[in-house]
């Protein structure tokens, strides 16, 4: 029994002299774990001698429990000390200036689309988004563009198979909307379009917004008024605009709208016209009762003109110096 008490005192001294969690854990395993020295000694006393079991059993258990508690509280003291030390070593100097974090912003193309949408919302337009993978019917045939038309040439279109392609224009949404809704219609279709072209004024993917109006008693003058008001709103000033006769298979008459640049040269920024009677007939809309007008705006083109950007490819290069200009 004296040897047992002597062992208990040795363990207590070891615990008192320890200031390390790992060392404390080693003491616990060595002495009071299932196979520890103290645990084995208690088992030998209690199970080999019935006399000692009756006389000292409770006392031996209390001794072991006391050692366990001592290890537990010593561990709390060490952890508290380590935590306080960590606080002292990692304290923050509140007088130091904070780190600069640059805030993000919308991409200039997204900003332009939002601005355009805000203008046309006030005129009662609704907004629709269509699929970027189209079939031949919606992208070409329903818009009066048939098999031998140059727009179907491989040099312009990304074909996925004989019937599927990446849409070349948001005009494909005109037919989808006329199929779904009866006149009167005021709709705007923003989205990405794809053409096999790449230079300073063209990219394989770019953004368009297509507008469509189907109603009674509308004419080309109404279309001109809308587009002029929009361009004055977007450029935030009165600019030189001209409507130039053009050709689109799905509008007649058709026109392109040009804006005069600072160097005195004209730049084409959008196409427009009255919806072709064949397109209306394809949708079972009486072209003697209803007329339609449509327009398509190149987003990158009008942003480039507004901010005097010479190469539209910079919109897709993720140059933070360029993007931060539009914050």
Band the pLDDT of 86: cuts 50, 70, 90. confident
Mean predicted confidence (pLDDT) in 227-255: 89
pLDDT of residue 29: 82
């001592």: which residue's tokens? 70
Between 155 and 282, whose confidence is greater?
Answer: 282
CB 212 within 8 A of CB 185: yes
Lowest mean pLDDT among 50-59, 161-170, 264-273: 50-59
For the stretch 96-143, pLDDT in tens is: 777 777 777 788 889 999 999 999 999 999 999 989 999 988 888 888
pLDDT of residue 244: 92
What tokens does 121 get? 């919302």
Residue 48 pLDDT more than 80? no
249: burial class by Cβ within 10 Å (0-12, 13-18, 19+)? middle
Lowest mean pLDDT among 66-75, 206-215, 225-234: 66-75
The residue ranges of DSSP E strands in the chain, in sequence order, are 126-127, 133-135, 164-166, 185-194, 205-215, 241-248, 251-260, 266-275, 291-298
Whether the predicted model's global pTM rises above the 0.85 cut = no
pLDDT of residue 46: 64
Contacts 24+ apart (CB under 8 A), 75-83: 75/21, 75/24, 78/19, 78/20, 78/21, 78/24, 79/21, 81/19, 82/21
Percent of the chain with pLDDT over 90: 22
For the stretch 243-262, pLDDT in tens is: 999 988 888 899 999 888 77
Mean pLDDT (the chain) is 83
Residue 212 pLDDT more than 90? yes
How many residues in total does the chain contain? 327
Percent of the chain with pLDDT over 70: 92
Contacts 24+ apart (CB under 8 A), 229-237: 230/116, 230/119, 230/120, 231/257, 231/259, 233/119, 234/112, 234/115, 234/116, 234/119, 234/302, 234/306, 235/259, 235/302, 235/305, 235/306
- Cα–Cα distance measured from residue 64 to residue 84, given in angstroms and rounded to the nearest whole number: 31
Residue 171 pLDDT more than 70? yes
Between 310 and 298, whose confidence is greater?
Answer: 298
pLDDT of residue 187: 93
- Cα–Cα distance measured from residue 320 to residue 102, given in angstroms and rounded to the nearest whole number: 11
């Amino acid at each position: 029994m004296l040897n047992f008490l002597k062992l208990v005192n040795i363990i207590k001294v070891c615990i008192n002299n320890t200031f390390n969690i790992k060392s404390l854990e080693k003491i616990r395993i060595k002495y009071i774990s299932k196979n520890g020295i103290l645990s084995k000694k208690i088992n030998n006393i209690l199970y080999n001698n019935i006399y000692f079991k009756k006389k000292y059993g409770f006392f031996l258990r209390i001794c072991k429990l006391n050692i366990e508690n001592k290890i537990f509280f010593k561990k709390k003291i060490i952890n508290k000390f380590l935590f306080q030390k960590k606080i002292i070593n990692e304290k923050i100097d509140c007088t130091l200036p904070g780190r600069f974090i640059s805030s993000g912003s919308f991409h200039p193309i997204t900003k332009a689309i939002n601005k355009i949408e805000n203008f046309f919302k006030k005129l009662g337009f609704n907004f629709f988004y269509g699929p970027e993978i189209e079939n031949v019917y919606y992208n070409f045939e329903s818009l009066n563009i048939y098999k031998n038309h140059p727009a179907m040439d491989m040099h312009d279109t990304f074909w996925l198979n004989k019937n599927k392609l990446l849409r070349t224009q948001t005009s494909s949404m005109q037919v989808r909307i006329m199929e779904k809704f009866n006149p009167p219609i005021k709709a705007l279709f923003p989205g990405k379009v794809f053409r096999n072209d790449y230079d300073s004024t063209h990219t394989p993917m770019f953004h368009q917004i297509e507008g469509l109006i189907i109603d009674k008693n509308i004419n080309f003058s109404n279309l001109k008024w809308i587009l002029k008001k929009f361009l004055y709103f977007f450029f935030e000033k009165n600019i030189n605009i001209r409507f130039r006769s053009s050709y689109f298979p799905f509008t007649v008459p058709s026109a392109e709208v040009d804006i005069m640049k600072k160097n005195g040269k004209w730049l084409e920024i959008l196409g427009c016209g009255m919806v072709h009677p064949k397109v209306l007939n394809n949708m079972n809309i009486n072209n003697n009762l209803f007329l339609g007008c449509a327009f398509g705006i190149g987003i990158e083109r009008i942003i480039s003109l507004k901010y005097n950007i010479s190469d539209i490819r910079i919109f897709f290069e993720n140059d933070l110096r360029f993007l931060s200009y539009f914050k």
